[in-house]
Amino acid sequence: MDIFWFLTFAVLLAGYFALEGFDIGLGVLLPVLGRSPADRDRLVGAMAPFVLANEVWLVALAGVLFGAFPVLEGQALSRLYPLVVALLLAWIVRDAGLWFRRRADGAAWRLAWDGALWAGSAGLALAWGAILVAVARGLPASPLDVPAVAGGVALLALLAWHGRTFAAWRLRSGPHGSGRALLLSACAAAAPAVLVMAAAAAHMLGNAAPDQTLTVLSVMVVPVAPILAGAQVWVWRTFSRGALPTFF
């Protein structure tokens, strides 16, 4: 039972980077790929219908951490306090950029929230890189040092590449427009997280919640899992092709 929930956790984490990774990467590249406001609208339009379905993987991850590995939840989050706070603030700023950029007129308004979208995306990538490095090193006392920054920058570059292959695929332009390239970059984006999970596996399995709790969770969640997966597939079937929606 603990193995099942560990695998669920790992799949959610890998899925988060494979999916939300391209939203983050595209946000980072927004000033580069979208030089004009119209270009930026199209880039945001490409990712917009996926963001809500992608970012929620991390919320689910936090839920599984709390439900199935409660002791680790307290340990990991509190040891990584400044990084997790930075991650949350970056996430909030990124989301605010998305939700607000079209809610009022004027070039300055749009530019300001596009800036928030960019800064938040960059902050997310940097914070995640540092967090993965810290977890891989067994949660050191002061998680902000040179390897942490290096990890952040490396993840930023990786996700930016992933974001670019997504944009090329969705907007059908350039030589990188194929679905295969997107699949490849998705796997690459998830790879660091998978490695870190493999390193942390023994520690996590030793700290799972008791069987009684895990059974209750399984009984409640497993029957609904096909609906969760189906909803995600529905999003991809609906928004992979065709004109770009304009709400974000």
Partner 1 sequence: MDVVGLARMQFAVTGSLHFLFVVLTLGLAPLVAIMHTRYAIGGNPLHERMTRFWGQIYVINYALGIVTGLVMEFQFGLSWSGLSHYAGDVFGAPLAMETLLAFFLESTFLGLWIFGWHRLPRGLHVACIWLVTLTAYASALFIMVANSFLQNPAGSAEEGGRLVLRDFGALFTNPTLVFALPHVLSAGLWAGGFVVMGASAYHLYRRTPEREFFTRSLRIGVLTAFVGSLFTVGFGYAQFGPVSDVQPDKFHGAVPGVALGLMIMIGQFVQFGVMFVLAPLLIRDLLARWRWLHPLLMIMTPLPFVAAIAGWIVREVGRQPWLVYGKLSVADALTPGLTRADITASFAGFAGVLGLLALVDYVLIARAVRRGPGRVALGAADLPVTAEPVPAHSL
Give the footprint of partner 1 on residues 74-133 (CB under 8 A): 74-78, 81-82, 84-85, 88-89, 91-93, 95-96, 99-100, 102-104
Burial tier of 106 (Cβ tally within 10 Å: 0-12, 13-18, 19+): exposed
- Whether residue 47 contacts residue 22, with contact meaning beta carbons closer than 8 Å, is answered with yes
Looking at beta carbons only, is 89 or 195 nearer to partner 1? 89
Which CB, 188 or 232, lies closer to partner 1? 232
Instruction: Report 194-213 residues binding partner 1 (CB under 8 A).
Output: 209-210, 212-213
Nearest to partner 1 of 173, 195 (CB atom):
173
CA distance 185 to 161: 7
Q: Judged by CB under 8 A, which of 1, 153, 187, 244 binds partner 1?
A: 244
| Interface of this chain with partner 1, residues 154 to 183, rule: CB under 8 A | 164, 167-168, 170-176
CA torsion angle 116 120 123 124 (round to 10): -170
Check residue 227 for interaction with partner 1 (CB under 8 A): yes
Residue 168 C-beta: closest distance to partner 1, Å: 5
Q: Which of 52, 198, 199, 205 binds partner 1 (CB under 8 A)?
A: 52
DSSP state at residue 210: P
Among 27, 45, 151, 152, binds partner 1 (CB under 8 A): 45
Find the helix packing angle between 81-100 and 70-79, rounded to 10°.
90
Distance, C-alpha 104 to centroid of its chain: 27
User: Toward partner 1, which CB reaches closer, 195 or 223?
Assistant: 223
The least distance separating partner 1 from the CB of residue 172, rounded to whole angstroms, comes to: 7
Burial class of residue 101, CB neighbours in 10 A (0-12, 13-18, 19+):
buried
What does the alpha-carbon distance between residue 203 and residue 90 come to, in Å, rounded to a whole number?
A: 29
Between 83 and 189, name the residue whose CB sits nearer to partner 1.
Answer: 83
Of 111, 183, 205, 231, the residue at the interface with partner 1 (CB under 8 A) is: 231
Give, in order, the Cα–Cα distances in Å from 226 to each of 78, 122, 234, 236: 33, 33, 12, 15
